[in-house]
Structure 1
Amino acid sequence: MTAKWTTADIPDQHGRVAVVTGANTGLGYETAKALAERGASVVLAVRDVEKGRLAAARMTGDVTVQALDLTSLDSVRAGAATLRARLDRIDLLINNAGVMYNPKQTTRDGFEMQFGTNHLGHFALTGLLLDRMLPVPGSRVVTVSSTGHRIRAAIHFDDLQWERSYSRVAAYGQSKLANLMFTYELQRRLAPHGTTVAVAAHPGVSSTELARNTPAALRLPITWLAPLITQTPAMGALPTLRAATDPATLGGQYYGPGGRYEVTGHPRLVTSSPASYEVAVQQRLWAVSEDLTGVKIPATKFLSGAAAPRR
């Protein structure tokens, strides 16, 4: 396995089509930029189209912009419909966009903002685009999680939307745990088809706008420690890029930084929390997500009896 995998290790991407959510800034921008530089046709799926156009103008290659707001299922459906009309195939769907540590807010559909954006929006988008991927050998759904999936994290089926009480840290942990459970269950359902795989990644601790809502009690310590414990967005994007392009990647794998505690470093295979591998919870979350979004993912027609991802 490559000890220090970098963008130089990305295989030629000419002929491949990649859709990257949240690609106008931070990790998504660096991910899209690297793919475009290696020849992929890249679609920046973003909430703010003008910011997306400015980001595209700074990239080299075939880069276009698509309006898509993950906080609105209507926007997700409209954006997916436009993408389906534009694209005959999708090789890479990179579910990157996210919010973190928001004060209590809801999406336009009434979902808790972090769960609704980070998980449900991407669940729906994947379901609406998957039939553009299933005919494409080697296509991949890459979903970006976080080490936050280990922190006070559980799927609170009795209060998914945090209506009784709210912890921004625990709500973020739930959403990132959901990202992993979605990846593992999606892979189980895709496995019989044999063309598309689902993979996860996390960026470690990267210096991006995502942390702007960090609770006040943590902000000052993090500011002091930032030079020691954070890496650039370009480095933080490497696990996602490896998950998306490394020919050796298998479905159900999880990439993160290779340094101590997976905080910084070049990407390698990592292991998620024991809770993330609980198959019964994955399947219950899948059913609830279909009910909440109204999106039935086509791959569910395949039997879900394939082996669960190994820890």
Structure 2
Amino acid sequence: MSEKWTERDIPDQKGRVAVVTGANTGLGFETARALAEHGATVVLAVRDVEKGKKAAARISGDLTVQALDLTSLESIRDAAAELHTRHASIDLLINNAGVMYPPKQTTRDGFELQFGTNHLGHFAFTGLLLDLLLPVPGSRVVTVSSLAHRLGGAAIHFDDLQWDRSYDRAAAYGQSKLANLLFAYELQRRLAPQGTTISVAAHPGLANTELLRNAPAAFRLIGPIVAPLISQDAAMGALPTVRAATDPAVLGGQYYGPDGRGERRGDPHLVASSPQAQNGTIQQRLWTVSEDLTGVKFPETQPELMEQIK
């Protein structure tokens, strides 16, 4: 492999099935494209099916589109059920979709939109698909986090997870991306004993994508001028995710991001997360709360399924 990891280093993905959430645009699109161009069968799991079809038409390879609205537990369950009918197994699940800095809104199930979409939606989707990954040696769950998990206001507010008392859109985003990392680490801890599937995390640095559409007006005004100086395009931003999904040297529980200054841009590289993200007590507490809120129990906690896999 070259010293700097690029798309040329992606191993042959022929025969592998990858599900990528939010794959119709930005980081998700570039992740799906890279995987498909290297032979994977890629499922674009998207809220807007028509946009998903247009995105698929721009990619060369074996692609299908799956309706998935991460703001609805009903849609998540329906999507997981459909994928069970279409695929006997899944090799890669890329939890990429997300919302950033919206005005105060809730999901269809009453969760704060960023926490509900970015974390709880992916928690439920992963739990409902995990039985398709567990029997597959080398299968991976890759969850996309953010530099925002380190922001001063980033914490898991267990006393007000849904921001009912007050709402800070940046702090709520930080909570959701910290939750992504806590989930990825706790999932790896639970998967480690069975040894076939690993959980990995990644972040894109500062990537110039549509995710910034809800940013403050002042930032949107200067963004086109400043963005090229401090950020990178979506293809580069997706590389940490793609490396986490495909590099044979990747280990469960690792975290990938850009290698440049402040991890804002650069080539995909192994990076460290905040001490809070590595707190096992918080990881386990969030897991229990997430199970209660979504009603989803993960199959690796069921002894009978583990016996079947063994």
Aligned amino acid, residue 162 of structure 2: Q
Shift of the alpha carbon at 1:130? 0.2
Shift of the alpha carbon at 1:224? 3.5
TM-score, normalised relative to structure 2: 0.96
Superposed CA RMSD: 1.1
Assess if the C-alpha contact under 8 Å between 2:91 and 2:136 holds in 1: yes
Name the % identity: 75
Cα distance between partner residues in 1 of 2:299 and 2:246? 24
Aligned amino acid, residue 293 of structure 2: L
Count of residues in Structure 1 that have an aligned counterpart in Structure 2? 302
Unaligned runs of 5+ in 1: 303-311
Residue 290 of structure 2 is matched in structure 1 by 289
Shift of the alpha carbon at 1:221? 4.8
Cα distance between partner residues in 2 of 1:87 and 1:229? 41
Residue 233 of structure 1 is matched in structure 2 by 234
Shift of the alpha carbon at 1:225? 1.8
221-230 or 79-88, which deviates more: 221-230
Shift of the alpha carbon at 1:227? 1.5
Pairing of 1:270-285 with structure 2 (within 5 A): 270-285=271-286
Assess if the C-alpha contact under 8 Å between 2:258 and 2:269 holds in 1: yes
Residue 308 of structure 1 is matched in structure 2 by none
Cα distance between partner residues in 2 of 1:210 and 1:237? 13
TM-score, normalised relative to structure 1: 0.95
Residue 56 of structure 1 is matched in structure 2 by 56
- Deviations 1:180-220, CA, capped at 9 Å, x for gaps: 00000000000001000000000001110000001234434
Shift of the alpha carbon at 1:72? 0.4
Assess if the C-alpha contact under 8 Å between 2:199 and 2:252 holds in 1: yes
Unaligned runs of 5+ in 2: 304-310
- Deviations 1:220-274, CA, capped at 9 Å, x for gaps: 4544421101111000000000000000000000000011000001100000111
Cα distance between partner residues in 1 of 2:200 and 2:261? 22
Assess if the C-alpha contact under 8 Å between 2:213 and 2:220 holds in 1: no
- Deviations 1:43-88, CA, capped at 9 Å, x for gaps: 0000000000011111111000000000000000000000011100
Cα distance between partner residues in 1 of 2:221 and 2:32? 32
Cα distance between partner residues in 2 of 1:224 and 1:274? 34
Residue 127 of structure 1 is matched in structure 2 by 127
Residue 177 of structure 2 is aligned to residue 176 of structure 1:
yes
Aligned amino acid, residue 161 of structure 1: Q
Residue 192 of structure 1 is matched in structure 2 by 193
